[in-house]
């Protein structure tokens, strides 16, 4: 078995080029074979116990790029690489003979004790020997096949293609464009605000207020998706949205958003009152023109987004009462504080997505602040619930009934703050979906002025009649 050893491989690839002659008995396909050899050498050096780093690894990488031995048009030969690495003692010497040929055959290992012994009696830190195969290997006369690299983007995907509108699923696409689950939550909180207001309940005004608020939410969500198409396509959570997948055209989405916005504002202005209309218009501007671009600029977007989420119950309260009393601010405070543990827990497990899309979220830029904020506002939520009876919004039963609910919510926020793991954040997020509807229900059943509605309406009617008679 003939071979040409080189000891302590030099660092510079030019020296390697002179140390192995092109007339060597081994025909090398250096680009593939020695790259594999270098990778395997690094793996072996990590796995061996008490073995120093394999210093030939960078040299082999450089050599695989600089050295060209043999005719590249000829079939690939077999390459045997003998790795010898010495540990702390001479007895720790390790040998491994590997077949690094690029033929489609499994790599072969041969017993090191039979193949070779140390090339000299002097212990070497590293020794690599290139040996030709001990068995004659028949060469395939056909030239090697060259695999074409698959392009990252197919040519047909680079060409402009018109978006065909699927009328059979147009309703489903509109619901997806409107973020129907988020819109439903907005409508429910608006309904709760209307029901909590200390004024007679008017079903027609209630329907107009609910419908107008829902249309404004559809408009805001559609505009948000229109602006965020390039970033939604980079996130696993949003890559299947209708605009990203091309199910609706951008012009179609903008037209839908404009129609919903105009109809919603008209409904609130003509069917409810000016205060509710102003609040809805302010919320639309905050969400589309402040919160949406701020997501890529500063973590303040979370606070702005919480303000956006706190306004819908105020719209409902204003639609019923025409003013913003203490109860409207209590409900807004509850919604504002609730969104921090809810969203921070949600964003914790979506950090890779938000980072890839370039969004400046607390969970990405400042994880400690993310957990602290969730805990702080969960405590604030408990305090607001205890303050509600003192402001004559609910009875004191609400403070007692909501205490276990808020206490467990605070406990989950504490677990999230202390553990900062996916499991605790997931528990906090899931409970937040139960916590808000439950708290709204407790607010309604503990409302202080339920019994006085009919009496106040009757008194107002008698007062009007007396004024007309006089």
pLDDT digits over 201-260, tens only? 889 999 999 999 999 999 999 999 999 988 888 888 888 888 988 888 888 899 999 999
Euclidean distance between CA atoms 226 and 251, whole angstroms: 9
Of the listed ranges 27-36, 303-312, 438-447, the least confidently predicted one is 27-36
Strand 126-131 with 109-110, pairing: unpaired
Of 131, 158, 191, the domain-final residue? 131
Average pLDDT over every residue of 17-46: 39
Query: Is the pLDDT at 139 greater than 50, yes or no?
Result: no
Q: pLDDT tens, 411-453?
A: 999 999 999 888 999 999 999 999 999 999 999 988 876 544 4
Place of tokens 């609130």: 268
Q: Is 151 within the bounds of a domain? A: no
Per DSSP (E only), the strands in 54-213 are 80-85, 94-99, 109-110, 126-131
Please report which confidence band the pLDDT of residue 358 belongs to, taking 50, 70 and 90 as the band edges: confident
Of 86, 107, 131, the domain-final residue? 131
Compute CA distances 408 → 227, 369, 427, 435, whole Å. 38, 21, 11, 10
- The residues, ordered by sequence, that sit 6+ positions from 154 with a Cβ below 8 Å of its Cβ are none
Q: Is 452 within the bounds of a domain? A: no
Element (H, E) at 5: strand 3-7
Average pLDDT over every residue of 119-129: 41
Q: What is the percentage of the chain residues whose pLDDT exceeds 90? A: 42
Residues 279 and 232 in one domain: yes
- CATH number of the domain at 189, please: 1.10.357.140
Q: Between these two residues, 113 and 389, which has the higher pLDDT value?
A: 389
Q: Which residues pair with 169 in a beta bridge?
A: none
Q: pLDDT tens, 265-303?
A: 999 999 999 999 999 999 999 999 999 999 999 999 999
Q: Is 62 within the bounds of a domain? A: yes
Per the structure, the complete domain to which residue 117 belongs is given by 3-131
Q: Between these two residues, 238 and 91, which has the higher pLDDT value?
A: 238
Overall domain count for the chain: 2
Query: Is the pLDDT at 98 greater than 90, yes or no?
Result: no
Residues 235 and 112 in one domain: no
Give φ, ψ of 350 to 5 degrees.
-110, 20
Average pLDDT over every residue of 307-321: 93
Residues 173 and 254 in one domain: yes
Query: Is the pLDDT at 313 greater than 80, yes or no?
Result: yes
Q: Between these two residues, 11 and 307, which has the higher pLDDT value?
A: 307
Q: Between these two residues, 377 and 90, which has the higher pLDDT value?
A: 377
Q: Is 465 within the bounds of a domain? A: no
Q: Is 384 within the bounds of a domain? A: yes
Average pLDDT over every residue of 159-182: 80
Please report which confidence band the pLDDT of residue 3 belongs to, taking 50, 70 and 90 as the band edges: very low
What integer pLDDT is reported at residue 464 of this predicted model? 56
Q: Is 147 within the bounds of a domain? A: no
Euclidean distance between CA atoms 414 and 427, whole angstroms: 12
Residues 251 and 352 in one domain: yes
Please report which confidence band the pLDDT of residue 466 belongs to, taking 50, 70 and 90 as the band edges: low
Residues 177 and 127 in one domain: no
Strand 3-7 with 126-131, pairing: antiparallel
Per DSSP (E only), the strands in 30-99 are 80-85, 94-99
Residues 224 and 300 in one domain: yes
What integer pLDDT is reported at residue 255 of this predicted model? 93
Residues 81 and 175 in one domain: no
What integer pLDDT is reported at residue 408 of this predicted model? 96
Residues 436 and 330 in one domain: yes
Euclidean distance between CA atoms 354 and 360, whole angstroms: 8
Residues 95 and 176 in one domain: no
Q: Is 140 within the bounds of a domain? A: no
Residues 114 and 210 in one domain: no
Of 87, 110, 131, the domain-final residue? 131
Euclidean distance between CA atoms 275 and 315, whole angstroms: 8
What integer pLDDT is reported at residue 116 of this predicted model? 36
DSSP 100: -
What integer pLDDT is reported at residue 447 of this predicted model? 84
End-to-end CA distance of the chain: give it in Å, rounded.
Answer: 126
Q: By the 8 A CB rule, do 95 and 53 touch?
A: no
Mark 412-446 as b/e (b = at least 16 C-beta within 10 Å): bbbbbbeeeeeebbeebbebbeebbeebbebbeeb
């Amino acid at each position: 078995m003939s071979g040409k050893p080189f000891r302590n491989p030099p660092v510079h690839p030019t020296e390697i080029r002179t140390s192995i002659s092109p007339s060597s008995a081994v025909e090398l396909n250096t680009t593939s074979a020695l790259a594999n050899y270098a990778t395997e050498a690094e793996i072996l050096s990590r796995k061996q116990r008490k073995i120093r780093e394999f210093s030939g690894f960078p040299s082999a990488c450089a050599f695989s790029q600089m050295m060209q031995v043999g005719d590249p048009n000829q079939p690939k030969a077999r390459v045997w690489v003998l790795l010898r690495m010495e540990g702390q003692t001479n007895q720790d010497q390790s040998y491994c003979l590997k077949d690094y040929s690029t033929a489609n055959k499994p790599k072969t290992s041969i017993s090191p004790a039979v193949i070779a012994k140390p090339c000299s009696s002097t212990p070497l830190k590293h020794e690599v020997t290139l040996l030709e195969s001990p068995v004659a290997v028949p060469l395939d006369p056909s030239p090697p096949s060259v695999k074409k690299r698959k392009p990252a983007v197919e040519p047909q995907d680079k060409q402009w293609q018109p978006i065909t509108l699927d009328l059979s699923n147009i309703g489903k696409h509109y619901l997806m464009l409107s973020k129907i689950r988020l819109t439903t939550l907005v409508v429910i909180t608006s309904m709760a605000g209307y029901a909590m207001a200390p004024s007679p309940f008017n079903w027609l005004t209630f329907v107009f207020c609910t419908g107008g608020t829902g249309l404004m939410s559809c408009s805001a969500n559609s505009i948000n998706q229109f602006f965020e198409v390039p970033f939604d396509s980079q996130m696993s959570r949003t890559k299947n949205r209708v605009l990203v997948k091309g199910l609706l055209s951008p012009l179609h989405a903008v037209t839908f958003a404009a129609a919903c916005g105009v109809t919603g504002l008209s409904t609130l202005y003509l069917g409810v009152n000016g205060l509710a209309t102003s609040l809805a218009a302010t919320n639309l501007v905050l969400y589309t023109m402040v919160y949406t671009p701020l997501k890529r600029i500063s973590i303040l977007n979370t606070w702005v987004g919480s303000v956006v989420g706190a306004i819908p119950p105020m719209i409902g309260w204003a639609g019923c009462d025409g003013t913003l009393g203490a109860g409207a601010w209590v409900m807004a405070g509850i919604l504002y504080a609730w969104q921090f543990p809810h969203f921070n827990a949600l964003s914790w497990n979506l950090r890779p997505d938000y980072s890839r899309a370039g969004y400046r979220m607390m969970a990405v830029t400042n994880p400690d602040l993310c957990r602290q904020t969730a805990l702080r506002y969960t405590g604030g939520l408990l305090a607001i619930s205890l303050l509600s009876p003192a402001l004559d919004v609910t009875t004191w039963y609400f403070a007692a009934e909501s205490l276990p609910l808020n206490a467990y919510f605070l406990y989950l926020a504490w677990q999230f703050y202390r553990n900062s793991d996916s499991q605790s954040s997931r528990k906090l997020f899931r409970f937040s979906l139960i916590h808000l509807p439950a708290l709204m229900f407790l607010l309604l059943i503990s409302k202080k002025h339920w019994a006085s509605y009919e009496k106040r309406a009757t008194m107002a009617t008698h007062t009007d009649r007396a004024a007309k008679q006089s």
